[in-house]
Amino acid sequence: MISRTTRQVKKLILGCVLLLIASGSIGLANGPSLSFDHFYNHAELTQALQTLAASYPQLARLESIGKSHQGRDLWAIILTSAKNGPPERKPGFYIDANIHGNEIQGAEVALYTAWYLLTSYGTSEQATRLLDEKVFYVVPTMNPDSRDYYITKAADPNSPRSGQVPMDDDRDGVKDEDGPEDLNGDGSITQMRKKDPKGSYRQHPDDPRILVPIRPGEKGEYSLLGQEGIDNDGDGRINEDGPGGYDMNRNYGYNWQPNYVQRGAGDYPFCFPETQAIRDFLLKHPNIAGAQNFHNNGGMILRAPGAKNLGELPLADVRVYDYIGKRGEKILPDYRYLTVYKDLYTVYGGSIDFIYSTLGIFCFSNELDTDPSERGTDRRGQSREDEETAYLRSLQRRLDEMDYYDRVLLGDQYTDWKPYQHPVYGDIEIGGVKKFGRRVPPAFKLAETCHRNAAFCLFHADQLPRLEFDTPKITKLDDGQYQVDVSVKNTRVTPSISAQATQKKLHRMDRLAVRGNGARMLAAGQLVDEYRGLTRKLDTRADSCWVEGGIPGFGQTDVRLLVKGTGDLTLVYDSLKGGTVETVVKLQ
Ligand SMILES: [Zn+2]
């Protein structure tokens, strides 16, 4: 165990390094220095990606994979070196972020990951190896319309979550006609409250800005009236039909449910231009073997399944998730590795299930960052507290939260409550936390969010299949035939085919082929008992066989071949998601 002082010093050093990275004053090589101390609007993000692609033409290519509803480009930056064959034959790692418009910091994490790999190529052993062996497909924002809305217009920490396709949320025949308004002109949508003796809140005993729920027997002082806004369409309701009104992460074509079961699902799977573009991009790159979505918030590393009706994943795949997820908790010390439906909530038609269950890709969704108001809310043992202790602790937590807004954020993200004459509610007060005050990290912490989550992506990418041949054993038989014993090893945890993909036949199996002078594969079998020479027959073509189940993680598959040929024989192991490896043997 290291002493507290050592730990503090280490933290301080890390803090300084991150601060230097954030200020852009150390480039990791000679590349462009991007800053990670602010949020990029779509124009800035576009420029940053174009700069990266232009600075590293041998390693990066920028591609528009479609347009958002309002016509913004959906960018994918594709990263790999020219070594080890064409990109589509290397194991692929996919990253997307910001599907929810307000969950913006994932785009900075994605951009940072691309920037780190490019600027570290040739100097860092890991970055170099990863770009040589793998290909990265990075989509920093899936929802540029709402990203720009959130950054440039009056928004609140929780919205707009939707895309900007207009919807008739209140079914009055008009779309998006009653959204929130920035009535106090502070650039954010904050909250409305009203003095009300029948209300169910009262002021915090130590800070009148905070309202706390009354307890049985206590007298109410205030009512909460929700987001700032007026009744634009005169239907007696306020803010009931704002921009958009759906959830793209409920619109994927696996375990999709209609709107009355899963709110926000859309009319049918992939009905939005952004989800269509992502679907097509994923289908076009079947070499993708690992994937990462970025959301906010809560400090979670989430895996499938998103809903109980899907059942638990095959055990072999759970082991892969556990291996990566549990190590992720060390890379991201404030994050917990969890399962979506068990530990968060049920999601039908989510990206994480589509990617894993229809494409056979190991996929995590990280909920980035934890709000100060949520710290300390999930500690074992607290559930055994008596009611009074829990209540007093909740009062203290609210004070600590205000302390954070006052003394750490120095008042920037909190608007004091001011009186307002509301057309429906009369005398009210407007104020509260501003849009950058929750769910996204403050600027001074953004670089750490970026670096640690990029490190998690690189760890996962480094755990994609890494295949190699052991030296084959040749036995000469009669009649120009040879017995060739071949072992293919995988030195990483991810199998070359997920158990889910094998069980559901999601994509083609791995293929072992022979090439050479008159080379033919007469028969093939998977060696299941080398001492007794027992094999399980494999389906054979003229020059190849299908290796069902592929190569397990941290394991190997042994195949016994009966081949004909003369001279050099090239053995090719070709895996859709695990890449291609070759070795040459002499038939003599
Ligand atoms: Zn989200």
Ligand 1 center to 353 CA (angstroms) = 14
Q: Is residue 292 part of a domain?
A: yes
Q: Residue 15: pLDDT band by 50, 70, 90 thresholds?
A: very low
Pair (512, 481) in one structural domain: yes
Q: Is residue 384 part of a domain?
A: no
Ligand 1 center to 366 CA (angstroms) = 9
CATH of the domain at 554: 2.60.40.1510
Pair (538, 518) in one structural domain: yes
Q: Given the DSSP bridges, would you call strands 481-490 and 555-575 parallel, antiparallel or unpaired?
A: antiparallel
Confirm whether pTM is higher than 0.75: yes
**DSSP-H helix ranges across 121-170:** 125-133, 144-152
Ligand 1 center to 124 CA (angstroms) = 32
Pair (268, 288) in one structural domain: yes
Phi, psi of 406 (to 5 degrees): -75, -45
Ligand 1 center to 260 CA (angstroms) = 20
CATH of the domain at 322: 3.40.630.10
Q: Of 435, 450, 485, which residue sits at a domain end?
A: 435
Residue 350 clears pLDDT 90, i.e. is over it: yes
pLDDT tens per residue across span 203-227: 999 999 999 999 999 999 999 999 9
Phi, psi of 192 (to 5 degrees): -115, 140
Q: Residue 375: pLDDT band by 50, 70, 90 thresholds?
A: low
Ligand 1 center to 247 CA (angstroms) = 9
Pair (456, 473) in one structural domain: no
Pair (234, 256) in one structural domain: no
Pair (410, 282) in one structural domain: no
Q: Please state the rounded mean pLDDT for residues 442-455.
A: 97
Ligand 1 center to 146 CA (angstroms) = 13
Q: Is residue 195 part of a domain?
A: yes
Domain containing residue 91: 4-151+246-371+440-462
Ligand 1 center to 315 CA (angstroms) = 27
Q: Please state the rounded mean pLDDT for residues 508-530.
A: 95
Q: Is 158 in contact with 99 (CB distance < 8 Å)? A: no
Q: Please state the rounded mean pLDDT for residues 511-531.
A: 95
Residue 356 clears pLDDT 90, i.e. is over it: yes
pLDDT at 112: 98
Pair (146, 39) in one structural domain: yes
Residue 384 clears pLDDT 90, i.e. is over it: no
pLDDT at 378: 56
Ligand 1 center to 44 CA (angstroms) = 22
Q: Say what percent of the chain tops pLDDT 90.
A: 90
Q: Is residue 394 part of a domain?
A: no
Pair (250, 237) in one structural domain: no
Pair (523, 536) in one structural domain: yes
pLDDT at 530: 86
Ligand 1 center to 297 CA (angstroms) = 8
Q: Computed over its alpha carbons, how large is the radius of gyration of the chain? A: 28
Joined together, the tokens standing for residue 163 give 């895309």
Q: Of 418, 435, 452, which residue sits at a domain end?
A: 435
pLDDT at 2: 40
Quick check: helix, strand or coil at residue 505? coil
Ligand 1 center to 295 CA (angstroms) = 4
Residues 6+ away with beta carbon under 8 Å from 122: 29, 128
Pair (287, 184) in one structural domain: no
Pair (238, 298) in one structural domain: no
pLDDT at 292: 98
Work out how many domains the chain is built from and give that number. Answer: 3
Q: Is residue 379 part of a domain?
A: no
Pair (68, 108) in one structural domain: yes
pLDDT at 371: 87
Q: Please state the rounded mean pLDDT for residues 144-152.
A: 98
Ligand 1 center to 72 CA (angstroms) = 20
Q: Is residue 354 part of a domain?
A: yes
Q: Which whole-number Å values give the CA distances from 330 to 53, 322, 323, 498, in the listed order?
A: 32, 13, 12, 25
Ligand 1 center to 413 CA (angstroms) = 22
pLDDT tens per residue across span 407-426: 999 999 999 999 999 999 99
Q: Is residue 396 part of a domain?
A: no
pLDDT at 296: 97
Ligand 1 center to 101 CA (angstroms) = 8
Ligand 1 center to 99 CA (angstroms) = 7
Q: Residue 177: pLDDT band by 50, 70, 90 thresholds?
A: very high
pLDDT at 32: 85
Quick check: helix, strand or coil at residue 454? helix
pLDDT tens per residue across span 281-298: 999 999 999 999 999 999
